[in-house]
Structure 1
Amino acid sequence: MKTNLLKKLLLPSAMLVPLAVVAAQQTPNVIVIFMDDMGYGDIGTTGAIGYETPNLDKMAAEGMRFTRFYAAQAVCTASRVGLLTGCYPNRIGYSGALGPSSRIGLGEKEETIADVLRKKGYATAAFGKWHIGHLPHALPPRHGFDEYYGIPYSNDMWPRHPTRKFPDLPLIEGDKTIELNPDQSQFTTNFTNRALQFIDKNKNKPFFLYLAHPMPHVPLAVSEKFKGKSRQGLYGDVIMEIDWSVGQILDKLRREGLEENTLVVVTSDNGPWLNYGNHAGTTGGLREGKGTSFEGGQRVPCIMQWKGTIPAATICNKLSSTLDLLPTFAHIAGAPLPPHKIDGVNIISLLRHEPDANPRESFCYYYRKNNLEAVTDGNFKLIFPHPHRTYEGFAPGVDGKPGPVNEKAKLEIPLLYDLRRDPGERYNVIGQYPEVRAKLEQIAAAIREDIGDDLTGVVGKNNRSPSIAPR
Structure 2
Amino acid sequence: MRLSKLILFCWSISLATAYAQKSPNVVYILCDDLGYGDVQFLNKERGKIPTPHIDQLAQQSMTFTDAHSGSSVCTPTRYGVLTGRYAWRSELQAGVLLGGKEFSPLIDQDRLTVPSLLARANYHSAAIGKWHLGFHFVDENGDSLSVKNKNFSSGVPMGTRVPDGPITRGFDYYYGFHHAASMSTLIENDKVVAEVAPVEMLDLLSKRACTYITERAQSTEPFFLYLALNSPHSPIVPSAKWQGKSGVGSYGDYVMQTDDVLGQVMDALAKNGLDENTLVIFTSDNGCSYPAANGKKLVNEYGHYPSAQFRGYKSDIWEGGHRVPFIVRWTGTIKAGTVNTQTICATNLMATCAEITGLKIPDDAGEDSYSMWPLLIGKKVKSTAPIVSHSINGMFSIRDGKWKLELCPGSGGWSNPTDAAAQKKDLPEIQLYNILADEGEQHNVYQENPAVVAKLTKKLMKIIDDGRSTPGSRRSNDVPIDVYKKGLTENTTEKH
**TM score, norm. by length of structure 1:** 0.83
- What do the CA deviations read for 1:327-346 (whole angstroms, capped 9, x no partner)? 10121122231441411111
- Of 139, 162, 166, the match for 2:165: 139
Q: How much has 1:270 moved relative to structure 2? A: 0.7
Alignment coverage as a number of residue pairs: 425
Q: How much has 1:17 moved relative to structure 2? A: 8.1
24 and 121 in structure 1: CA distance in 2 versus 1, 3 angstrom threshold: closer
The answer to whether the Cα contact below 8 Å between 2:66 and 2:341 also exists between their aligned partners in 1 is yes
- What do the CA deviations read for 1:275-300 (whole angstroms, capped 9, x no partner)? 23437771112111111111111111
Q: CA RMSD in A?
A: 2.9
Which aligned pairs between 1:52-67 and structure 2 lie closer than 5 A?
Answer: 52-67=50-65
The answer to whether the Cα contact below 8 Å between 1:69 and 1:301 also exists between their aligned partners in 2 is yes
How many angstroms apart in 2 are the aligned matches of 1:62 and 1:339?
35
What is the aligned partner in structure 2 of residue 126 from structure 1? 127
What is the aligned partner in structure 2 of residue 27 from structure 1? 23
Q: Does 1:87 align with 2:101?
A: no
Q: How much has 1:437 moved relative to structure 2? A: 2.8
How many angstroms apart in 1 are the aligned matches of 2:422 and 2:291?
15
How many angstroms apart in 1 are the aligned matches of 2:103 and 2:12?
57
The answer to whether the Cα contact below 8 Å between 1:273 and 1:289 also exists between their aligned partners in 2 is yes
15 and 58 in structure 1: CA distance in 2 versus 1, 3 angstrom threshold: farther
Letter in 2 for 1:54: P
- Of 345, 348, 370, the match for 1:321: 345
254 and 12 in structure 1: CA distance in 2 versus 1, 3 angstrom threshold: farther
Secondary structure in 1 aligned to 2:342?
A: coil
Q: How much has 1:443 moved relative to structure 2? A: 0.9
- Of 368, 371, 380, the match for 1:346: 371
How many angstroms apart in 1 are the aligned matches of 2:276 and 2:118?
19
What is the aligned partner in structure 2 of residue 51 from structure 1? 49
Which aligned pairs between 1:106-121 and structure 2 lie closer than 5 A?
Answer: 106-121=107-122
Q: Does 1:380 align with 2:407?
A: no
Q: How much has 1:361 moved relative to structure 2? A: 1.7
Consecutive unaligned residues of structure 2, counting only runs of 5 or more, are 1-5, 137-161, 299-304, 469-473, 480-496
The answer to whether the Cα contact below 8 Å between 2:348 and 2:371 also exists between their aligned partners in 1 is yes
How many angstroms apart in 2 are the aligned matches of 1:389 and 1:25?
43
How many angstroms apart in 2 are the aligned matches of 1:26 and 1:352?
13
What is the aligned partner in structure 1 of residue 471 from structure 2? none
Q: How much has 1:74 moved relative to structure 2? A: 0.9
The answer to whether the Cα contact below 8 Å between 2:317 and 2:413 also exists between their aligned partners in 1 is no
What is the aligned partner in structure 2 of residue 200 from structure 1? 214
Which aligned pairs between 1:155-304 and structure 2 lie closer than 5 A?
Answer: 155=180, 157=181, 169-180=184-195, 182-203=196-217, 204=219, 205-278=221-294, 282-304=306-328
What is the aligned partner in structure 1 of residue 333 from structure 2? 309
Quick check: 231-240 or 169-178, which moved more?
169-178
The answer to whether the Cα contact below 8 Å between 1:83 and 1:325 also exists between their aligned partners in 2 is yes
Letter in 1 for 2:208: R
How many angstroms apart in 2 are the aligned matches of 1:319 and 1:124?
28
**TM score, norm. by length of structure 2:** 0.79
189 and 23 in structure 1: CA distance in 2 versus 1, 3 angstrom threshold: farther
Quick check: 84-93 or 21-30, which moved more?
21-30
The answer to whether the Cα contact below 8 Å between 1:26 and 1:261 also exists between their aligned partners in 2 is no
Letter in 1 for 2:200: Q
How many angstroms apart in 2 are the aligned matches of 1:450 and 1:33?
31
Q: Does 1:104 align with 2:127?
A: no
- What do the CA deviations read for 1:371-421 (whole angstroms, capped 9, x no partner)? 45221113110122357334237xxxxxxxxxxx88765453322111111
The answer to whether the Cα contact below 8 Å between 2:405 and 2:430 also exists between their aligned partners in 1 is yes
Q: How much has 1:423 moved relative to structure 2? A: 1.1
What is the aligned partner in structure 2 of residue 433 from structure 1? 449
Secondary structure in 2 aligned to 1:94?
A: coil
Secondary structure in 1 aligned to 2:413?
A: strand
Quick check: 438-447 or 341-350, which moved more?
438-447
- What do the CA deviations read for 1:113-165 (whole angstroms, capped 9, x no partner)? 11111111111111110000131344111111111111112x2x25xxxxxxx
How many angstroms apart in 1 are the aligned matches of 2:419 and 2:250?
26
The answer to whether the Cα contact below 8 Å between 1:390 and 1:406 also exists between their aligned partners in 2 is no
386 and 51 in structure 1: CA distance in 2 versus 1, 3 angstrom threshold: closer
How many angstroms apart in 2 are the aligned matches of 1:345 and 1:85?
12
Letter in 1 for 2:255: I
Secondary structure in 1 aligned to 2:352?
A: helix
The answer to whether the Cα contact below 8 Å between 1:362 and 1:377 also exists between their aligned partners in 2 is yes
The answer to whether the Cα contact below 8 Å between 1:451 and 1:462 also exists between their aligned partners in 2 is yes
The answer to whether the Cα contact below 8 Å between 1:42 and 1:282 also exists between their aligned partners in 2 is yes
- Of 332, 336, 351, the match for 2:356: 332
Q: How much has 1:464 moved relative to structure 2? A: 2.6
412 and 406 in structure 1: CA distance in 2 versus 1, 3 angstrom threshold: closer
How many angstroms apart in 1 are the aligned matches of 2:400 and 2:477?
23
The answer to whether the Cα contact below 8 Å between 2:354 and 2:361 also exists between their aligned partners in 1 is yes
- What do the CA deviations read for 1:293-318 (whole angstroms, capped 9, x no partner)? 11111111111111122111111111
Letter in 2 for 1:81: Y
- What do the CA deviations read for 1:37-87 (whole angstroms, capped 9, x no partner)? 111100111126333111111111110111111112111111110111010
Identity %: 33
Letter in 1 for 2:311: R
Q: How much has 1:108 moved relative to structure 2? A: 2.2
How many angstroms apart in 2 are the aligned matches of 1:347 and 1:15?
30
Consecutive unaligned residues of structure 1, counting only runs of 5 or more, are 1-9, 159-167, 394-404, 453-459, 466-471
How many angstroms apart in 1 are the aligned matches of 2:172 and 2:306?
35
Quick check: 411-420 or 273-282, which moved more?
273-282
How many angstroms apart in 1 are the aligned matches of 2:416 and 2:395?
22
Secondary structure in 2 aligned to 1:271?
A: coil
